[in-house]
């Protein structure tokens, strides 16, 4: 009993000392923040939020525009697929944006990169033509090859890019159309980047883009001129349209069931409204003869 009573004051003193140290540390941190505020950085002052873009799938009633999806796929095929993979999407999934089974078979068999597969006779690694059931093959054999071809940067897979970034479709659209000349670039407050932050000069091999979090990225501007991709539906192949279309396509690859979710949500909301009405009617009927 005596030993127990002797431990309690020691534990109390230790707890009090710990609390005092934490309090002193907290006040020291606050004092340092007030006396030495954090210095602004180029990324904080000059990074731009994604531009607004009016996509058909925005909002709770939004739907995918199949023609836009197909144009976006064409941009991915002719421009983006040279560096970026789409490893979570199979060729047969393209039927979800309006391609027929025959068209999907043709797209798969004619794809520039074939699927790695062992030779059935020798066992040596070879390639074969793609099947509709195959996923889109990666443009590089491995990470080393990807780095060697892209200034030591590995191009990210684009399957889920629209979900991996905040305001994904708008981010992709803004990034593709956002390459700028760093010299003379100003923010909304009129500050000039290189005058305020001369150390932020874009290093050799990188490209300035204020929509990218660090302002500089290894990817060269992929969409450089109007008419780079020839649309077959009569849409003007401007850089803006091509960026918007491929952003829409990558939204579909990330959320192919978006329309189904919208429809299910409306069905659930209507069901709940009807159920609430029936429940209220049943309540009134059951308690009709009871006086309050």
Neighbours of 211 (CB within 10 A): 22
Residues 6 or more apart whose CB falls under 8 angstroms from that of 276 comprise none
Following CA atoms 149, 171, 181, 85 in sequence, which dihedral angle do they give, to the nearest 10 degrees?
Answer: 10
What is 170-211 written as a DSSP string? HHHHHHHT----STT-B-TT--BHHHH-GGGPPPTT-EE-TT
Residue 208, beta-bridge partner list: 216
**Which helix (H) or strand (E) segment is 85 a member of?**
none
Dihedrals φ, ψ of 56, to 5°?
Answer: -65, -25
Does 83 show up as a binding residue in the annotation? yes
Does 80 show up as a binding residue in the annotation? yes
Torsion sign, CA atoms 260, 262, 264, 270: negative
Token pair belonging to 54: 């009016």
Does 276 show up as a binding residue in the annotation? no
Residues annotated within a binding site: 80, 83-84, 219
Residues annotated within a binding site for heme c: 80, 83-84, 219
């Amino acid at each position: 009993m005596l030993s127990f009573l002797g431990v309690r004051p020691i534990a109390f003193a230790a707890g009090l000392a710990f609390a005092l140290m934490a309090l002193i540390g907290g006040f020291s941190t606050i004092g340092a923040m007030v006396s030495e505020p954090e210095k602004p950085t180029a990324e904080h002052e000059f990074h731009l939020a994604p531009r607004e873009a009016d996509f058909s799938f925005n909002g709770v009633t939004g739907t995918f525009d199949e023609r836009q999806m197909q144009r976006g796929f064409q941009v991915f095929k002719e421009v983006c697929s040279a560096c970026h993979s789409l490893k979570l999407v199979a060729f047969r999934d393209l039927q979800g944006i309006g391609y027929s089974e025959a068209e999907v078979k043709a797209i798969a068999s004619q794809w520039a990169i074939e699927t790695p597969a062992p030779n059935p006779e020798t066992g040596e690694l070879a390639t074969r033509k793609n099947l509709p059931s195959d996923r889109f093959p990666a443009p590089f054999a491995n990470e080393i090859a990807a780095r060697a071809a892209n200034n030591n940067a590995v191009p990210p897979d684009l399957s889920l890019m629209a979900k991996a970034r905040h305001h994904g479709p708008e981010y992709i659209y803004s990034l593709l159309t956002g390459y700028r000349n760093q010299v003379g670039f100003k923010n909304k407050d009129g500050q000039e980047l290189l005058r305020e932050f001369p150390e932020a000069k874009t290093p050799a091999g990188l490209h300035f883009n204020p929509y990218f979090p660090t302002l500089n990225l290894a990817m060269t501007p992929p969409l450089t001129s109007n008419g780079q991709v020839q649309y077959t539906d009569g849409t003007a192949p401007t850089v803006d349209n091509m960026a918007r279309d491929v952003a829409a396509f990558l939204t579909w690859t990330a959320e192919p069931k978006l329309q189904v979710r919208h429809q299910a949500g409306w069905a659930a909301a209507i069901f709940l409204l009807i159920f609430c009405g029936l429940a209220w009617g049943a309540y009134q009927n059951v308690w009709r003869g009871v006086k309050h």
